[in-house]
Amino acid sequence: MYLKLFHGREHWDEQMEDWGFEGPIFVVKGFVHSTYNAHLWVDHQGTGNGDELPYVGDCIHYDGKYYGDWSVFESELTPDIEAALEPFDPDKAIVPDEIRQAVNG
């Protein structure tokens, strides 16, 4: 199973003029769980414990980018998927304090 981030933008409140850019695809070995459109938990190791992909405004934050959409899917490993695969790094999901303060006021 895979989790794909897409409709990317450089800033969390950027107004989109087009569809944005494609994001990474992560292998999911356990679950994907969303809570109140405020938290997205991903068990990428199959341990039964998830790491958070946090929402900033209405976008998912990862590696300094912001994604308006995400999708979970199953597929054979194609060249397109393989090219976008990235190991999930929980440190890249940490929202910088200055962004949290700007969002929360």
**Domain range summary for the chain, segments of one domain joined by +:** 2-104
Amino acid at 27: V
Q: Is the pLDDT of residue 11 over 90?
A: no
Q: Find the range with the poorest average confidence among 39-43, 78-82, 99-103.
A: 99-103
pTM, whole model, 2 decimals?
0.87
Number of residues that make up the chain: 105
Q: What is the mean pLDDT of residues 83-89?
A: 94
Q: Is the pLDDT of residue 16 over 80?
A: no
In the chain, % of residues over pLDDT 70 = 97
d(CA 16, CA 6): 13
Confidence of residue 98 (pLDDT cuts 50, 70, 90): confident
Specify the 3-state DSSP secondary structure of 63: coil
Q: What is the mean pLDDT of residues 27-47?
A: 90
* Geometric angle at alpha carbon 3, from 30 and 36, rounded to 5°: 80
Give the residue with greater pLDDT, 39 vs 72: 72
